[in-house]
């Protein structure tokens, strides 16, 4: 078997799955965020793919294959060349034609469908592939959790209207639940942000794990749950307090919200903070209630920008703003974005746009104007649920699937139309449904392991049986183990036969590390009673089973 197990935890491995994949000799890092899958890992990936393929076919999907190499023009046509930004790998061919390595295939599949679908009679369609994709991640991490080259299943649905899309979406939602159940994974479905994909409704499937890269917000009182990028909360009821006169007060040395609130003796939710961003090269003024923080994903989506970062001190000064004492009052020449929390209070404390001074009793829209009001607040544990008022809690998770209602965003941009029954031309309504195969492999390990190694669910395990021969130099043991190996393989069991000349301790450690569900030991001791020792990976106890009953025992255990 190609690949060597390791005794020590690799220093570069951050997550449990990354550590165990390296220790078990299942993956090898070729470059940052780029991995080779060795034979054992590849067997698991193939089983994941087969489960996915069966469920996609059962749901009405048709499998095809689309190229990784894509003409850059289709990305310009959809407008996502800017939305993906530096995450999109690009290159030039020998004729200096610009190409992209596909991080996803909405553009290509839309082009295929617009060339083949002409009438409502050609719809609905569900087309999918299992394909290698590329994203230039700035910080690959967690082994297979965030990489630059990855295998993904992506299915696209095409319908005549939103009602038909709802049916396709529900069909895929159930298919995904089937997939994770068959993979032996417990998942949570959460509301999600669509990101650069675009579209309307969006849900993620999360495997809860301490080392997960995503934060999940969920309610203690109802079934509300969402990715932190999408989560909303109750921001209190609108204030009925009477509007008071705007008043300037001195606040020497007070610059932060905490310092200003303490100096004036007011709670933080009676203040408005100012945050400055550079958005596609333009300075934008953001204001939000003082007890809240800005969610940059929501802000990016609201502004529909490709590049967003905090402005530096020099950029703030050049715009004539005073950090620590800024507000939208009297502001001109700068775009102002506000969180909707500014409408849920009155008589706020805000900056006076000069050092060591603030205004009391600032109110929107009496005292200042904004260009856009929307929800841009970051939700965290302790906030209240907008659905039921219960306390919101937080946990970590690994995203193992994402589904979107794209609507007509791609079909309209790329001209994917059909003729309806009445002869009118309409835009095809689309959905997108993705699963990262390598990420799902990592998540399965995060959810199924102990201090000794991996514990594979039967449906994903690279082998059903770890057959371990002790004292293999002994001809009787060697012969009996070889015979049992051949018989089990012939009966359809997938067997990893450890015939190495190694100590029992080395073999047992590797068996636990690799996580195969059932271990069978053949030794001189067991053969004296014409038996073998059988042990489930999850159990501590072993059982002596007669050779003639091994097949029946394995069938029962693996069921």
What CATH number should be reported for the domain holding residue 90?
3.30.930.10
Beta-carbon neighbour count of residue 30 at 10 Å? 10
Assign residue 349 a region (left: φ > 0; alpha: ψ between -120 and 50; beta: otherwise): beta
Asked, for residue 156, whether it belongs to a domain, the answer is yes
pLDDT value at residue 199: 57
Q: Tell whether 267 and 189 lie within a shared domain.
A: no
Q: Tell whether 436 and 470 lie within a shared domain.
A: no
Alpha-carbon distance of 391 to 370, in angstroms, equals 31
Q: Tell whether 124 and 37 lie within a shared domain.
A: yes
Cα angle 289-295-301, degrees, rounded to a multiple of 5: 120
Asked, for residue 8, whether it belongs to a domain, the answer is no
Asked, for residue 386, whether it belongs to a domain, the answer is no
Q: Which residues, in sequence order, are bridge partners of residue 218?
A: 225, 393
Q: Tell whether 332 and 440 lie within a shared domain.
A: no
Q: Give the distance between the most distant pair of CA atoms in the chain.
A: 98
Q: Tell whether 334 and 436 lie within a shared domain.
A: no
Q: Tell whether 59 and 197 lie within a shared domain.
A: yes
CATH number at residue 522: 3.40.50.800
Q: Tell whether 369 and 430 lie within a shared domain.
A: no
- Total structural domains within the chain: 3
Structural domain that includes position 512: 465-558
Asked, for residue 3, whether it belongs to a domain, the answer is no
Half-sphere CA count of 80, side-chain side, radius 13 A? 26
b/e map 380-418, b = 16+ CB within 10 Å: beebbbbeeeeebbebebbbbbbbbbbbbbbbebbebbb
Beta-carbon neighbour count of residue 75 at 10 Å? 24
Asked, for residue 10, whether it belongs to a domain, the answer is no
pTM of structure: 0.86
Alpha-carbon distance of 168 to 157, in angstroms, equals 7
Q: Tell whether 438 and 502 lie within a shared domain.
A: no
Alpha-carbon distance of 543 to 535, in angstroms, equals 6
Q: What is the DSSP letter of 10?
A: P
Alpha helices in 80-199 (DSSP H): 80-84, 106-116, 162-182
CATH number at residue 291: 3.90.960.10
pLDDT value at residue 304: 86
Q: Tell whether 32 and 131 lie within a shared domain.
A: yes
pLDDT value at residue 9: 83
Alpha-carbon distance of 7 to 4, in angstroms, equals 10
Per-residue pLDDT of the chain (559 residues; tens, 9 = 90+): 999 999 888 888 889 999 999 999 999 999 999 999 999 999 999 999 999 999 999 999 999 999 999 999 999 999 898 888 889 999 999 999 999 999 999 999 999 999 999 999 999 999 999 999 999 998 898 899 999 999 999 999 999 999 999 999 999 999 999 999 999 999 999 988 766 555 578 899 999 888 788 899 999 999 999 999 999 999 987 778 899 999 999 999 999 999 999 999 999 999 999 999 999 999 999 999 999 999 999 999 899 887 899 999 999 999 999 999 999 999 988 999 999 999 999 999 999 999 999 999 999 999 999 999 999 999 999 999 999 999 999 999 999 999 999 999 999 999 999 999 999 999 999 999 999 999 999 999 999 999 999 999 999 999 999 999 998 888 899 999 999 999 999 999 999 999 999 999 999 999 999 999 999 999 999 999 999 999 999 999 999 999 999 999 999 999 8
pLDDT value at residue 82: 85
Asked, for residue 457, whether it belongs to a domain, the answer is no
Residue with tokens 């104007």: 369
Q: Tell whether 543 and 510 lie within a shared domain.
A: yes
* Element at 273 (helix H, strand E): strand 272-279
Q: Tell whether 92 and 189 lie within a shared domain.
A: yes
In order of 12, 171, 237, 293, 331, the CA distances from 218 in angstroms are 32, 25, 21, 18, 38
In order of 75, 85, 135, 174, 413, the CA distances from 80 in angstroms are 5, 8, 14, 29, 11
**Looking at 392, 414, 446, which one is the last position of a domain?**
446
Alpha-carbon distance of 78 to 55, in angstroms, equals 30
Beta-strand pair 518-522/465-469 = parallel
Asked, for residue 278, whether it belongs to a domain, the answer is yes
Asked, for residue 333, whether it belongs to a domain, the answer is yes
User: What residues contact 32, with CB distance under 8 A and at least 6 apart?
Assistant: 140, 148
Q: Tell whether 507 and 436 lie within a shared domain.
A: no
């Amino acid at each position: 078997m190609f690949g060597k197990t390791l005794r020590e935890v690799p220093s570069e491995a951050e997550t449990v799955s990354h550590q165990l994949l390296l220790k078990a000799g299942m993956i090898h890092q070729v470059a940052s965020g780029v991995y080779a899958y060795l034979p054992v890992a590849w067997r698991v990936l193939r089983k994941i793919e087969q489960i996915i393929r069966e469920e996609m076919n059962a749901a009405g999907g048709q499998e095809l294959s689309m190229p990784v190499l894509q003409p850059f023009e289709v990305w310009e046509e959809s407008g996502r060349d800017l939305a993906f930004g530096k995450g999109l790998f690009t290159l030039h061919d020998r004729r200096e034609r610009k190409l992209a390595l596909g991080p996803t295939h909405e553009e290509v599949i839309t082009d295929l469908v617009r060339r083949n679908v002409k009438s409502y009679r050609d719809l609905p369609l569900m087309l999918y592939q299992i394909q290698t994709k590329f994203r230039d991640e700035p910080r690959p991490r967690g082994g297979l959790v965030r990489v630059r080259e990855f295998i993904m299943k992506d299915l696209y649905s095409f319908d005549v209207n939103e009602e038909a899309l709802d049916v396709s979406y529900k069909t895929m939602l159930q298919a995904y639940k089937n997939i994770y159940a068959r993979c032996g994974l417990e998942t949570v479905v959460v509301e999600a942000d669509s990101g650069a994909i675009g579209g309307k409704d969006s849900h993620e499937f999360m495997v809860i794990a301490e080392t997960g890269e995503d934060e999940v917000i969920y309610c203690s009182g109802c079934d509300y749950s969402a990715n932190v990028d999408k989560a909303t909360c109750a921001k209190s009821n609108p204030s009925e307090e009477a509007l008071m006169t705007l008043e300037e007060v001195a606040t020497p040395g007070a610059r932060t919200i905490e310092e200003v609130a303490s100096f004036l003796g007011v709670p933080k939710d009676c203040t408005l903070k100012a945050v400055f961003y550079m958005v596609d090269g333009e300075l934008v003024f953001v204001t939000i209630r003082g007890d809240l923080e800005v969610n940059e994903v929501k802000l990016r989506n609201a502004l529909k920008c490709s590049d967003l970062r905090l402005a530096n001190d020099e950029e703030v000064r050049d715009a004539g703003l005073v950090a620590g004492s800024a507000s939208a009052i009297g502001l001109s020449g700068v775009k102002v974005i506000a969180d909707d929390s500014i409408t849920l209070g009155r008589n706020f404390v805000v900056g006076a746009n000069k050092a060591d001074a603030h205004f009391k009793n600032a109110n929107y829209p009496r005292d200042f104007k904004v260009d856009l009001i929307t929800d841009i607040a970051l939700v965290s544990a302790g906030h209240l649920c907008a659905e039921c008022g219960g306390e919101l809690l937080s946990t970590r998770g690994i995203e193992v699937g994402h589904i979107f209602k794209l609507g007509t965003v791609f079909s309209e941009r790329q001209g994917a139309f059909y003729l309806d029954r009445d002869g009118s031309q309409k835009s095809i309504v689309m959905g997108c449904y993705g699963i990262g195969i390598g990420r799902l492999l990592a998540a399965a390990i995060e959810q199924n392991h102990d201090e000794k190694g991996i514990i594979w669910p039967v449906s994903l395990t690279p082998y059903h049986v770890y057959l371990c021969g002790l004292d293999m130099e002994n001809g009787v043991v060697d012969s009996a183990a070889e015979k049992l190996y051949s018989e089990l393989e012939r009966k359809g069991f997938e067997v990893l036969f450890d015939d190495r000349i190694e100590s029992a301790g080395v073999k047992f450690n590797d068996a636990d590390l690799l996580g195969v569900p059932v271990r069978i030991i053949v030794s001189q001791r067991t053969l004296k009673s014409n038996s073998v020792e059988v042990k489930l990976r999850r159990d501590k106890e072993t059982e002596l089973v007669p050779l003639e009953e091994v097949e029946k025992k394995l069938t029962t255990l693996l069921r």
